[in-house]
Structure 1
Amino acid sequence: MKLSEGVEWGLHCVHMLAGLPQGATLPTRALAEFHGLSETYLSKHLQALTNAGIIESLPGPRGGYRLARSPEKITLLAVVEAIDGREPLFRCTEIRQRGPVASGPEAFRMPCGIHVAMARAEKAWREALRVQTVADTISHYQHDVSSEARERTAQWVAGRMRLAPEK
């Protein structure tokens, strides 16, 4: 399984937006610069997150992006699905019904065992992401990153954030 790089970008941007003070936004340019990403490509992923109701975009000179709801209410699965969609990761094409000794569908009483195993694994993976929130990643960040690094990040963000009109 391989998720698109947009999932990583989206998760990091949502995480960063979660740290903004009330009424503040960050423009695409700042989010792209901080993460060393292409502004053009990042904006496509930010639009997907906006369409999913995870972040909101405010236009104008004081505009930018901010969370649309609290970090406790944004699951990692919601971000993954906003960026990469909800399609199953594994798609069974019933290749067991092909080849020189193929039988028709009537020969198989149960779904393919491989299909069942992959669906079970995907269900577990999605459930694990469904119970983890952006607030959980923030808590991890607070414990995992030095106070000096957190302060440098906070100063960098403070210099680029914009104060937007309240919701």
Structure 2
Amino acid sequence: MSVKGSVTTSDYLNFDTTLNKAVKLIKGDKNYKLGFLVVLGINSGLRISDLLSLKFNDLDGDSISLLEKKTNKKRIIRINDNIKVAFEILKTRVENHDGHIFTSNQNTVYSTQYVNRKIKEFFGSKKLSISTHSLRKTFGRQVYLNNNETDKALLYLSDLFNHSSPAITKRYLGIRQEELDDIYMSL
């Protein structure tokens, strides 16, 4: 919980390290659904409200089609190999493949607060401010890096994130601050 009047932001995670740790959770831990949520989050860029609303049949094809809760805009997301492999592993761990994916033993959908606690527990550190939003930022940073940190990548991300401009995306991903920090360090 943040202090009233303070500015809080979540940090991004290292994509490869997070992916590997999440796959290990899916394969061997009682928190296998959380592991899949992390894989799905860092590979889709979806907000936590949209991740939690997903059902098993939403991932049956080659893409996920949904109406974003926050923006009320339709979004189609291609399912990449990371998601496909993790989903197959998840299905071997879950008996019932009907209904929502991210449910507790009492068959209630996870709350954002619960997921935040668990993500901090498994992926947090004293140096980073980690939350469910870190998954979305991790996706953004990886897309940016995979596309050689180009303005074109920022343009695509701006569109994917529904930001009004690439400048907002730059600030959102912490790129702007890194550039400003570099100015001071270059003196």
Fold in common (TM above 0.5) = no
* Structure with max Cα Rg: 1
Of structures 1 and 2, the one with the larger relative CO (CA 8 A, separation 6+) is 1
